[in-house]
Structure 1
Amino acid sequence: MHEIAPLAAALARYQPRRYRWRRRLKRAAVAVILRETRQGAEVLLAVRAHRHGDPWSGDMAFPGGRVDAADEASASVAACRETEEEVGLRLSRDDGIGRLNDRITLDHRRRAPMVVSPFVYRYRDADTPVLNHEIAATRWLALAWLDEPANRAAMRWQLGRVALPMPCYDCGDGQRLWGLTLAMLDELRGLS
């Protein structure tokens, strides 16, 4: 069973990779939101709404989005802002318990590199998420569920004419947890 206190202690000691040149690229930030339950820590996942032309429509991901000028060049401020916009949960930097490694991905709008910075937050309220048009649903997933090898699977991701095998979790109802979100969760779980 995962608990937030040991994760927070591990994150306090953790030295995540931060690309020095990240401010020269397009940037995005996500909020890895944890809450404590009797069954241990759970993480909030958002199911992206289906949109024409969006290659990640329907995927499970963390709330988040682009860092823009209104965020005062702070990725953690962007993660909090985007979380409130997408799922209606209010976070502040005071709720932050750490961060994970920066990740390089492609900005699918421009087909150029983009840096994604994941920030980990503890959520103490019992508010129900209020979703905007970008999010179809949310779900809290127990970190302990991710520890069960039987829940881990593989999927085929089509990249042009090539089908690549990718690790994933089949969360039911056609929802798969994979890609950057899975890599971030694996990193977080590896800290405990």
Structure 2
Amino acid sequence: MHELAPITRALAGYPARRLRFRRHLKRAAVAVILRESRQGAEVLLALRAHRQGDPWSGDMAFPGGRVDAVDEASASRAACRETGEEVGLHITRAHGIGRLNDRLTLDHRRRAPMVVSPFVYRLEQRIEPVLNHEIAATRWLALAWLDEPANRRTMRWHVGRLSVPMPCYDCGDGQRLWGLTLAMLDELCSLAR
């Protein structure tokens, strides 16, 4: 079982990799929100609503989105703002307990590189999310569940004519956890160990 206190301590001394060129690319940020439960630390996941043209429709992800001008080039502000907009949880930098490595990905709108910065927050109180049109559902997932080898699977990701095997978790009801979100969770769980 993963408890929140050791994760918080590990994040405090964790030298997360920040890509030097991130300010020259499109940027996005996500909020990795943790809370304590009887099962240990849990993470909030959002099921993205099905939308035409969205390559991640129906995927499990963290709340988050693009860094906009209103964020004054602050990725952590963007993570907080997007979390409020998407799931109705109002977090601030004061809730922050650390960050994970920047991830380089592809901005599918512009077919150009984009940097995603994950920030980790601790939620003390029990608050029910209020979802907007971008999110179909949320769920709290125990980090200990991710440590069970039997829960990890392989899926086929189809890119054009290619079919690439990718690690994933089947969260039930057709909900899969994979890709960048899974890579970020693997990083967090390795810190928790």
Q: TM-score, normalised by structure 2?
A: 0.99
Provide the alpha-carbon RMSD of the alignment: 0.5
- Three-state SS of the structure 2 residue aligned to 1:191 is helix
**What corresponds to 2:187 in structure 1?**
187
**What corresponds to 2:77 in structure 1?**
77
**What corresponds to 2:142 in structure 1?**
142
**What corresponds to 2:175 in structure 1?**
175
- Three-state SS of the structure 1 residue aligned to 2:50 is coil
Query: 5+ residue gaps in structure 2?
Result: none
**What corresponds to 1:63 in structure 2?**
63
Number of paired residues? 192
Aligned equivalents of 2:94, 2:143: Cα separation in 1: 23
Aligned equivalents of 1:164, 1:21: Cα separation in 2: 29
**What corresponds to 2:29 in structure 1?**
29
Q: Does 1:9 align with 2:9?
A: yes
Cα displacement string for residues 20-45 of structure 1 (whole angstroms, at most 9, x for unaligned residues): 11011000000000000111000000
Q: Which amino acid aligns with 2:54?
A: D
**What corresponds to 1:122 in structure 2?**
122
Q: Does 1:90 align with 2:90?
A: yes
Q: Does 1:53 align with 2:45?
A: no
Q: TM-score, normalised by structure 1?
A: 0.99
Give runs of ≥4 in structure 1 deviating > 4 Å.
none
Cα displacement string for residues 164-188 of structure 1 (whole angstroms, at most 9, x for unaligned residues): 0000000000000000000000000
Query: 5+ residue gaps in structure 1?
Result: none
Aligned equivalents of 1:19, 1:149: Cα separation in 2: 31
Q: Does 1:38 align with 2:16?
A: no
Q: Which amino acid aligns with 1:59?
A: D
What displacement does 1:127 show? Answer: 1.2
Identity of aligned residues (%): 80
